[in-house]
Amino acid sequence: MLIGIPSESKRFGLDEHRVGLSPSGVLELIQAGAEVIVERGAGREARFTDEDYRKVGARIAYSREEVLRSADLIAKVHCYDEEDCPMLKREQIVCGFLLLFVAPKKTIESMLERNITAIGYENIETQPGSYPIRSRMAEIAGRLAVQIAGRLLESRKKGRRGILLGGVPGVPPAEVVILGGGSLGFSAAQAFSGIGANVYVLDIDIDRLKKIEETIHGRVVTLISNRRNIERIVRFADVLIGAVLTPGKRTPILVTREMVKQMKPGAVIIDFSIDQGGCCETSRFCPGEDYIYVEEGVIHFAVPNTPSWVARTATHVLNHSVVPYLKKIVQLGLVGALKESKPLARGVYTYKGKVVHRSLYQAGYPEANLEDLL
């Protein structure tokens, strides 16, 4: 099996600095029996050189087209755009954070016409509600939230609050509200509480809130997420983190424009839910030099691929998460891997020209059962 690693194209106008596999991941797959072809410069932004890939046995291609047209399996980070799809060959396997439920219909139709097996990392589910690959990226975003919020609170520009997240003796710390207690929210809660901020986490799942309280005992306040509690708590937030996720669907709007109007001037909203629509009514993706904008007097930051900002770390984490699944495909073949690994099978969007994932049924595609097609 020939595995291809192309460079990443822009997504939502954003540069993607991660790469589909690190040299160490390539080595593991070669040792498992695969051949690997890497587009020249694909790992540059994550500080992996072409020579790093050559040393572990990969071949370097000098065009994106060569990788996409020749490989049996494509390992990318993010979705495929309309320019990529015509270069994909029939019955190819494509992997990555594909998010096909928000992709243009042309992209999905192109994959169906070519009988492409599309595997979304975001859908690989080990047990109900547990998405290990997506969770690892969410952990990175949660930890990055502290760095981002700290900078946006600094008095480097007019209108900023000019406060220190952790405070100092005699001066209280910042008030940080986190909507969502999943992997991202949990990671953010640990990071913010670790530097001394006052942290509040809201979620509809009482078991998640219990886990957070048990782990970060005495340093975080948990509340059930409902409209009344959200209205009450966002008013005094210095930082509001959107960490809400509804798998396969648009993120629900939890913070209305009216709520944003009640927030402190210069407060910060970091909406990590933006790749699925955002959980704040005022959230939108804003390409530019610093990706921020001010709405209703509140600073907004909504970037869908924040882990890309620490590309080397994020690529290593992604590599550790996906290589075991890719090795199964190499060693057992696609059908054998899907039959043996239920988590991997749950990640499949399209197979043999059929839609086999529930997130696409609502778009009007006929339902098909993957097990019946294998």
Domain ranges of the chain: 2-123+310-373, 132-304
Q: What is the mean pLDDT of residues 130-134?
A: 91
Q: How far apart are CA 10 and CA 19, in angstroms?
A: 13
Crossing angle of the two packed helices 132-153 and 183-194, in degrees rounded to 10 = 40
DSSP 243-255: ----TTSPPP--B
State the Cα–Cα distance between residues 96 and 284, nearest whole angstrom: 24
Q: Which residue has the tokens 């078991």?
A: 207
**Buried-exposed string 49-68: b where 16+ CB fall within 10 A, e elsewhere:** ebebbeebebeebeebebbb
Q: What is the pLDDT of residue 13?
A: 63
What pLDDT shows up at residue 289?
A: 59
According to CATH, what is the number of the domain 2-123+310-373? 3.40.50.720
Please report the pLDDT score of residue 288 as a whole number. Answer: 66
> What is the model's pLDDT at position 202?
97
CA pseudo-torsion sign 173, 177, 182, 183: negative
What homologous superfamily does CATH list for 132-304? NAD(P)-binding Rossmann-like Domain (3.40.50.720)
Residue 85 has a pLDDT of 80
What pLDDT digit, counting tens, does each position of 161-201 carry?
999 999 999 999 999 999 999 999 999 999 999 999 999 99
What pLDDT score does 128 carry? 85
Residue 11 in this model has a pLDDT that exceeds 90: no
- Enter the tokens of residue 256: 């209305």
Task: Give this prediction's pTM.
Answer: 0.89
User: What confidence score (pLDDT) does residue 276 get?
Assistant: 82
Q: Residues 314-371: pLDDT tens digits? A: 999 999 999 999 999 999 999 999 999 999 999 999 999 999 998 888 777 888 999 9
Could you report the per-residue pLDDT of 242-290, keeping only the tens digit for each? 999 877 678 899 999 999 999 999 999 999 998 888 999 999 887 665 7
For the cut 80, the answer to whether the pLDDT of residue 51 exceeds it is yes
Domain 132-304 in the same topology as domain 2-123+310-373: yes
Q: What is the DSSP letter of 264?
A: P
- pLDDT at residue 82, as a whole number: 73
Is the pLDDT at 12 greater than 70? The verdict is no
pLDDT in tens, 288-319: 657 889 999 999 998 888 999 999 999 999 99
**Alpha helices by DSSP H, the chain:** 23-31, 50-55, 64-70, 105-113, 132-153, 183-194, 206-215, 227-234, 257-261, 311-340, 342-346, 358-361, 370-373
- Could you tell me which residues are beta bridge partners of residue 36? 3
What is residue 361's predicted lDDT score, i.e. its pLDDT?
83
Can you give the pLDDT at residue 145? Answer: 96
Indicate the angle between helix axes 183-194 and 206-215, nearest 10 degrees: 30
Contact of 249 with 359, CB cutoff 8 Å? yes
Question: Per-residue pLDDT tens for 216-231?
Answer: 987 899 999 999 999 9
pLDDT tens per residue across span 52-106: 999 999 999 999 999 999 999 999 998 777 778 888 899 999 999 988 887 888 8
